[in-house]
Amino acid sequence: MENRRSRRAAAAVALVTALLTLVGALAAPAAAAPPPPYVHGGQTVPTYSYASAVRESVQVDTKLDSDHDGTPDTVSVDIVRPRTATRVPVIMEASPYYSCCGRGNEFQLKKYDRNGTILSMPLAYDNYFVPRGYAFVAVDLVGTSRSTGCGDVGGPAEIGSVEAVVDWLNGRGTARYRDGRTARPGWTTGRVGMIGKSWDGTLANGVAATGVRGLATIVPISGISSWYDYMRLDGVPRATGYPGWLAGAVDGRPAGTCDAVQAGLTSAGDDTTGDYNDFWAARDYVPDAGKVRASVLIAHGLNDQNVFARNFSRWWDALAEHHVPRKLWLHQEGHTDPFDIDRGAWMTMLHRWFDYWLQGIHNGVMGGPKVRVERAPQQWQQQADYPAPGARPVRLSLAAGGGGAGTIGTGGGSGTVALTDNPDLTETQAVGDPNAARSDRATFLSTALSGTTHLSGTPTVTLRFRSDEPDTELTAKLVDYGTAARDDYLANDLSGIEDLDTRSCWGESTADDSACYLDTTEVVHSTDYGVLSRGWTDAAHRTGLTRYTPVAPGRWYSITIRLQPQDQLLAAGHHLGLVVSLSDTENTSPSSTGAKVTVDLAHSTLSLPVAGATHLGTVATAPQLTVTAPATRATRSTPARRLP
């Protein structure tokens, strides 16, 4: 009996001891998980050999049949990843350009070994980030290179093909190696960051707008957020037949495979009216900003004449409305990657950005101002937001002059001006010699600014007009008259940069894949004037973009021209100019009607987005300005279809 009691007591003590041990274990703080082997000092550091990285090529299955051949499309995906048992996140660039046109300032293409496995990737992302514990994944867009299907220019097929790759990386899809073996992404954490310039950055915007899980961040560089805002300018086509031509320019399928699809794209785009229709709505990512789960780092040129700045500003504003974590880099060049403008600062930012959003390293990258902006050549500033906090629309009046330039000022507007459409009018003719009387443009000048004026936001011009034709294009250009050093953003195919003879290296190289790239510099000239912003609209779309409504000849109407957003300083002593004309065949492909238009200036205004003091006053007579056309600056040509 005694032994039985002793055994029961011992058992009770053991049970209490076990329970206390369990409670203690639950109450004690969990031991912090050790950082990955490639994280030291609060950042990822080169740890793995780039030369011995795993290189593989797979075909990802989709649920699409964009070429209508009865077989689901497959997407070709090339991968470079560290040779490690540790799972790593993914930096991904999807592009239509890997075999047709090249990537980056040096137009690099993918290169493969004799077995069809990736040997060399364009750009430095793999060289720089793979040794630091990232995988780099390059996706051939549907219908291009080694992918099947047909591209639909930013539409459901293209976005869906890239979304399928994100799904596969997160275990929600299937893929095969080129020899038919099943490919499983057991090497990745599933966290994906998309990056790319132009069309590639556009794909990042579009995929983020689906809300796909696993896409943690995007870095769109000169990206499109609305294909209508890329190919149309408030009802005015930039070039006719653009969608079908663009799909054909990157087509990697056998001849004839995608002809019907491409013809359908051009037809659906509707050059005849220029309307915003279902075709364009399917390629407008801005309304879906509320679905975005990813953080967003945007980079864009304020003077980008390929993908106009409206594409970043509308996207930026929509993301803000939905509280999406975001930051913004703005520069004064054209269609250019920050890698070729301020390389060291940009790569530092990318490194910190991806470390935070893909690796979970708390490095403070989201602290401080949201915006870094270049307001003049190599003059960078931090700014709390965009537009600059406190920026407000300043309404300025327009008044007619005595046969030459009219005036811009804070007083009342008066008089009328008459314009006759001239399809041969060049921008140099329109904005140069502003005091000369011309029948094909009207110019308005301010007094000399009494202090530096900060423009930050989107200017608009509202005109009360009548036309003797049922339709006409209306063009407005905001000009800074005054000598200054300015970026020549039209130079070298609208990039605004030129190559130097030196190279800098960003990551590890192999015999087949160099990490060293030509250094570049901004093209800068001293000029007597610079065009700050441009805007175009179609008179038959004055009430909205979804319906073509011709004007009644001789009847008065009001229309607002939205210019492209800008962030720039106007120097004291300079004059602000506004130039109004009709068709602009250097920048658009209008149906030039030969219209004669009268503008009622008493009911027309310029709205200028100003942060701080305006430094503009009333003016009775336009100042007489002598300016020299910038002969050394690059000039425009008739707008051709161009790749984004």
Q: Which of 73, 76, 234, 335 is catalytic?
A: 335
Residues 104 and 196 in one domain: yes
Residues 443 and 337 in one domain: no
DSSP assignments along 86-110, one per residue: S-EEEEEEEES-TTTT-BTTTTB--
Which are the contacts of 330, defined by CB distance < 8 A and separation ≥ 6? Answer: 299, 300, 301, 302, 312, 371, 372, 373, 374, 386, 567
Residues 438 and 333 in one domain: no
What is the pLDDT, as a whole number, of residue 24?
41
Distance CA 77, CA 88 (A): 17
Take residue 58 and report the two structure tokens written for it. Answer: 């797979």
Distance CA 314, CA 318 (A): 6
476 forms beta bridges with 535, 580
Q: Is residue 37 part of a domain?
A: no
Distance CA 342, CA 599 (A): 44
Assign 190 to helix, strand or coil: strand
pTM, 2 dp: 0.93
Which are the contacts of 241, defined by CB distance < 8 A and separation ≥ 6? Answer: 266, 271, 641
Distance CA 337, CA 494 (A): 12
Angle in degrees, 0-180, between the axes of helices 156-169 and 199-208, rounded to the nearest 10? 70
Q: Is residue 620 part of a domain?
A: no
Residues 355 and 311 in one domain: yes
Are the CB atoms for 127 and 509 separated by under 8 Å? yes
DSSP assignments along 121-158, one per residue: -SSSHHHHHGGGT-EEEEEEPTTSTT--S---SSSHHH
Residues 379 and 397 in one domain: no
Mark which of 383, 402, 428 sits at the end of a domain: 383
Are the CB atoms for 632 and 486 separated by under 8 Å? no
What is the pLDDT, as a whole number, of residue 32?
57
Assign 447 to helix, strand or coil: strand
CATH code of residue 400: 2.60.120.260
- Amino acid letter, residue 227: W
CA-wise closest residue to 482 among 453, 522, 439, 521: 453
Distance CA 582, CA 538 (A): 10
What is the pLDDT, as a whole number, of residue 21?
42
Distance CA 122, CA 477 (A): 38
What is the pLDDT, as a whole number, of residue 629?
75
What is the pLDDT, as a whole number, of residue 25?
39
Chain mean position to CA 634 = 23
* Structural domain count of the chain: 2
CA dist 123 → 57, 118, 138, 204, 513 (Å): 18, 14, 11, 17, 9
366 forms beta bridges with none
Q: Is residue 622 part of a domain?
A: no
Residues 228 and 321 in one domain: yes
Length of the chain in residues, anyone?
Answer: 644
* pLDDT by 10-residue block (mean), the chain, 644 residues: 44 42 40 81 97 98 97 98 96 97 95 95 98 98 98 98 98 95 98 98 98 98 98 94 96 97 96 96 98 98 97 98 98 97 97 98 97 95 97 97 91 94 95 95 97 97 98 97 96 95 97 97 96 97 96 97 97 97 92 93 98 91 86 52 84
CA-wise closest residue to 367 among 381, 388, 382: 382
Q: Is residue 129 part of a domain?
A: yes
Take residue 13 and report the two structure tokens written for it. Answer: 């003590």
Q: Is residue 249 part of a domain?
A: yes
Which are the contacts of 170, defined by CB distance < 8 A and separation ≥ 6? Answer: 185, 190, 192, 213, 214
Distance CA 309, CA 380 (A): 18
335 is catalytic: yes
What is the pLDDT, as a whole number, of residue 642?
84
234 is catalytic: no
Residues 297 and 355 in one domain: yes
Mark which of 335, 358, 383 sits at the end of a domain: 383
CATH code of residue 96: 3.40.50.1820
What is the pLDDT, as a whole number, of residue 639?
56
Q: Which of 198, 295, 589, 604 is catalytic?
A: 198
Chain mean position to CA 637 = 23
Which are the contacts of 454, defined by CB distance < 8 A and separation ≥ 6? Answer: 388, 391, 567, 568, 569, 570, 610, 611, 612
Assign 502 to helix, strand or coil: strand
User: For every residue of 371-429, which 3-state class applies, written as one string?
Assistant: EEEEEECCEEEEECCCCCCCCEEEEEEEECCCCCCEEEECCCCECEEEEECCCCCCHHH
What is the pLDDT, as a whole number, of residue 630?
72
What is the pLDDT, as a whole number, of residue 301?
98
528 is catalytic: no
Residues 345 and 420 in one domain: no
CA dist 245 → 5, 18, 199, 204, 642 (Å): 93, 74, 15, 22, 9
Distance CA 47, CA 38 (A): 5
Query: Angle at Cα 42 formed by Cα 38 and Cα 48, nearest 5°?
Result: 15
Distance CA 527, CA 629 (A): 8
- Amino acid letter, residue 181: R
Quick one: DSSP state of residue 565? P
Residues 333 and 426 in one domain: no
Q: Is residue 493 part of a domain?
A: no
What is the pLDDT, as a whole number, of residue 640?
63
Q: Which of 304, 340, 487, 488 is catalytic?
A: 304
Angle in degrees, 0-180, between the axes of helices 242-249 and 259-269, rounded to the nearest 10? 150
Which are the contacts of 612, defined by CB distance < 8 A and separation ≥ 6? Answer: 390, 453, 454
Token match 């057991």: residue? 186
Q: Is residue 303 part of a domain?
A: yes
Spatial strand order of the sheet with 74-81 comes to: 175-177, 54-61, 74-81, 135-140, 88-95, 188-197, 215-221, 295-301, 326-331, 371-376, 379-383
Residues 304 and 439 in one domain: no
Q: Is residue 24 part of a domain?
A: no
- The range of the structural domain enclosing residue 219 comes to 43-285+292-383
Mark which of 353, 383, 413 sits at the end of a domain: 383
Residues 477 and 366 in one domain: no
DSSP assignments along 274-287, one per residue: ----HHHHTTB-GG
User: Cis peptide leading into 325, omega within 30 of 0?
Assistant: no
Distance CA 318, CA 320 (A): 5
Residues 368 and 267 in one domain: yes
